Amino acid sequence: NAGVTQTPKFQVLKTGQSMTLQCAQDMNHNSMYWYRQDPGMGLRLIYYSASEGTTDKGEVPNGYNVSRLNKREFSLRLESAAPSQTSVYFCASSTADRVGAGELFFGEGSRLTVL
Amino acid sequence: SQQGEEDPQALSIQEGENATMNCSYKTSINNLQWYRQNSGRGLVHLILIRSNEREKHSGRLRVTLDTSKKSSSLLITASRAADTASYFCATDGRNYQLIWGAGTKLIIKP
């Protein structure tokens, strides 16, 4: 089982460039999430999708957009990257019908550096 | 803002010893979860404990929850080198979104 797959694993961008992080899960989960992890801090929720066709802002949505392409795929887009977006990004999915109510399954992370 | 706060921030023990880490939170919760993250990897779920539970076990892991003190503890017994990782607690107290602590970095010395 692949679980949650994120691409790319590493990316270096220049300020102002755009890029999309891809995420796919093969567990038939309804809810999917994008988090960022910065040194010394816990995970912060960027956006989530409780079910196919819906997306909602999390704690730190500014500078990001998302697309829930289908039940399997949830992408995160940086339209104009800034150095403050240098971080490790994690995609996760969950069996829980209610957002945040159940176990999360994580991808291996995408390490983004913005110069 | 962070709901969960782990304590200590870092813990170094000898292999075979027990490791205890704590999590405090600020608002009422429905459940609390613990995750492990090995260096450079994604997070892995360990245990979910509901607000009406006081203790839960999974193998060498024991989690307690004290809702009156708004705190939880994770005990790892008979630690192994493979337990070296960061451990995070997460609560769902606000809009059911998980809120994460900054983690406890555990190092097991051989």
Cβ-nearest to A101 among B2, B42, B96: B96
Q: Is the dihedral of CA B91, B93, B97, B99 positive or negative?
A: negative
> Mean pLDDT across the stretch A84-104?
87
> Mean pLDDT across the stretch B63-80?
97
> Mean pLDDT across the stretch A29-53?
91
* pLDDT reported for residue B3: 56
Whether residue B1 has pLDDT greater than 50: no
Give the model's confidence band at B2: pLDDT under 50 very low, under 70 low, under 90 confident, else very high: very low
- Nearest-Cα residue of chain A relative to residue B39: A108
- Phi/psi of residue A45, each to 5°? -80, 130
Average pLDDT across chain B, whole number: 91
Whether the CB-CB separation of A93 and A6 falls below 8 Å is answered with no
Q: What is the distance between the alpha carbons of residues A36 and A55, in angstroms, rounded to a whole number?
A: 17
Whether the CB-CB separation of B33 and B61 falls below 8 Å is answered with no
Beta-carbon separation of B41 and A109 below 8 A: yes
Give the model's confidence band at A66: pLDDT under 50 very low, under 70 low, under 90 confident, else very high: very high
> Mean pLDDT across the stretch B21-47?
94
